[in-house]
Amino acid sequence: MISQQKRDMKLDQFHNTGSKMIRVAVLTTLLMLSRSFAVAAQPVIKVLQFDQKSGIIDQGENAGLRAGDIFDVNRYAGEFVYWIGRVKVIVVKPKMAGIKTLSLAENETVQPGDVLEMLQRDPEALATPEKDDEIKKNENRLVSKTLTSSQNETARSEAGRLPAEPSPSVSLEFRSGLLQPITNASQSLGLNWSLRVTDASNRVVQVIDMAHAYTRSVTLQGICHVPLSKRMALQFDLAYVPLNIKSSIDAQLLGVGMKASGSLIKIGTAVNYRIKPRVALGLGGGLFLPQVSITGSTRTVTVSDRRWGIAMEATYQFPLTAAVGLKSGLAYHLFRDNGPAIHYFTFQFGPSFKIGKN
């Protein structure tokens, strides 16, 4: 009877022990699964920027990070993982955080792209925020400055990926400046002729050389730019140059009772290419229309010509607002004449206006 009771007690102990072992195994399995889920749920945290002993990581409050968290820093190279060091979170922002170095492996430095893995959460740092208050203030200032620098770099990087300038739009320009013939032959500006003064018997009493009657003048030009792409534009321009007559020629004309006036009109088109945000080069052609009028006591004689030519230009833009600027331009012009080719430079300066949406 006694031996039967002993056997029953041993059997109960065996069942109790087995139940405890099963419960421990289940709890252990659940703990491991919860830890696995927690690890899987934790976002990958990477170093964005690091300078000597502090830096920035790409996760913050939104990912559950708090000041005082301690992480191991690992570097992954293929199938190998290298321990780089240990860092502590000192400043937390919604989408990023500031860290400082606690320890480093020999001859190693934390680099952008290194991965942080949670080591422990420092309850003491959370419970005593007043601890090392002055140190934390300095660290906050340092990291806040680094965060601002990082955000500025990100903004600049994004600006570099997006168009650096506003979308192209039609622009109008009005410029004025100087016209300077390059050679003496070019001073004719295509009006290569002589004025012969005769008396009542049709005898030539004086010859006035009008081929060299002109000097540097003021130019007026209106320009319209139609964008072809972000850097290229098609230019249409109309230039008017009131020709200045040399004083010596003007005196000869007045001596015989005449007065001269002249002008040069250019109608052109060109393709402009912006090599820098403010600098552009242009190449095109146009129709040059020089004209001079000689007014006497009884009648007016007008001499005009039509010549095709080319123009090359370099411009520089001084922006004032998003839609208004000042533009300067140096241009070289060449067109054919019956004699030598006509060469002259113009230097102009004036306002530029963008119209339409940027």
- CATH number reported for the structural domain that contains residue 102 in this entry: 2.40.10.410
> pLDDT band at residue 58, thresholds of 50, 70 and 90?
very high
Cβ pair 176, 221 in contact under 8 A: yes
Indicate whether 194 and 154 sit together in one domain: no
Indicate whether 251 and 337 sit together in one domain: yes
Percent of the chain with pLDDT over 90: 35
Indicate whether 205 and 291 sit together in one domain: yes
User: Is 18 part of any domain?
Assistant: no
**Domain-terminating residue out of 161, 196, 230:** 161
What digits encode the pLDDT tens for the residues 324-357?
999 999 999 998 877 778 899 999 999 999 886 5
Higher pLDDT, 210 or 331: 331
What span, in angstroms and rounded, lies between the C-alpha atoms of 283 and 271? 6
User: Is 275 part of any domain?
Assistant: yes
Q: What was the pLDDT predicted at 260?
A: 86
> β-pairing, 80-92 with 69-77?
antiparallel
What digits encode the pLDDT tens for the residues 133-191?
544 555 555 555 555 555 555 555 444 444 444 567 899 999 999 998 888 778 778 77
Chain centre to alpha carbon of residue 121: 44
Given a cut of 70, is residue 29 above it in pLDDT?
A: no
Could you give the residue ranges of the DSSP H alpha helices within the chain? 2-41, 123-127, 133-161, 247-255
Indicate whether 221 and 140 sit together in one domain: no
Indicate whether 175 and 156 sit together in one domain: no
CATH number of the CATH domain containing 285: 2.40.160.20
DSSP assignment string, 69-88? EEEEEEEEETTEEEEEEEEE
**Which pTM does this prediction carry?**
0.52
Q: Which whole number is the average pLDDT over 213-236? A: 91
**Domain-terminating residue out of 161, 194, 223:** 161
**Domain-terminating residue out of 105, 126, 161:** 161
Q: What was the pLDDT predicted at 146?
A: 55
Given a cut of 50, is residue 297 above it in pLDDT?
A: yes
User: Is 32 part of any domain?
Assistant: no
106: containing domain: 45-161
Looking at residue 189, its amino acid is L
Q: What was the pLDDT predicted at 186?
A: 80
Indicate whether 176 and 264 sit together in one domain: yes
User: What sign has the CA pseudo-torsion 9, 10, 11, 14?
Assistant: positive
Indicate whether 283 and 189 sit together in one domain: yes
Q: What was the pLDDT predicted at 23?
A: 59
Q: What was the pLDDT predicted at 52?
A: 79
Indicate whether 104 and 181 sit together in one domain: no
Q: What was the pLDDT predicted at 3?
A: 55
